[in-house]
C-alpha cells in the first residue's frame, strides 16, 4: 500500500498505523515519489514484507461484517417505530 494525501483525522491515523506496521508507506509532502517507488519495486524482500504484513492486518470478511452490523441496526430501528 502506498498512501497519498489521507484525510486529516481518522485517515491519517490509519495511514500511520499501516506504515508503523510495515504494511505500506505513507507518502508525505516533500517525499520523492520516484525514489520511494524505485525502492519498493527494486526490493523484493521489502515488497514481500509489506504484502505479508498487509495480509496479517486484514480482517477476513470485513465488508460482510459491516453490512451485517448496519442491517442489524436498521432492523432494530424499524422495529422500534
pLDDT digits (tens, 9 = 90+) for 44-73: 999 999 999 999 999 889 999 999 999 999
Cell of 45: 524482500
Strands, E assignment, the chain: 2-4, 25-27
pLDDT of residue 77 exceeding 90, the answer is no
Residue ranges per structural domain of the chain: 2-80
CB-side neighbour CA atoms (13 Å) of 18: 21
Which residue, 20, 23, 11, 29, is CA-closest to 47? 23
Q: Provide the sign of the torsion angle of the four alpha carbons 3, 56, 60, 37, taken in this order.
A: positive
What's the confidence (pLDDT) of residue 79?
A: 82
pLDDT, tens digit (0-9, with 9 covering 90-100), for 9-50: 999 999 999 999 999 999 999 999 999 999 999 999 999 999
Give me the pLDDT at residue 19, please. Answer: 96
**pLDDT at position 80:** 72
> So what's the pLDDT on residue 81?
55
Q: From CA 8, how far away is CA 28, in angstroms rounded?
A: 12
Amino acid at each position: 500500500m502506498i498512501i497519498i494525501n489521507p484525510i486529516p483525522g481518522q485517515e491519517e491515523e490509519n495511514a500511520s498505523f499501516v506504515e508503523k506496521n510495515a504494511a505500506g508507506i505513507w507518502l508525505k509532502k516533500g517525499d520523492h515519489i520516484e525514489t520511494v517507488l524505485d525502492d519498493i519495486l527494486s526490493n523484493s524482500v521489502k515488497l514481500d514484507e509489506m504484502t505479508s504484513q498487509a495480509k496479517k492486518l486484514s480482517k477476513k470478511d470485513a465488508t460482510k461484517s459491516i453490512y451485517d452490523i448496519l442491517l442489524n441496526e436498521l432492523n432494530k430501528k424499524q422495529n422500534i417505530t
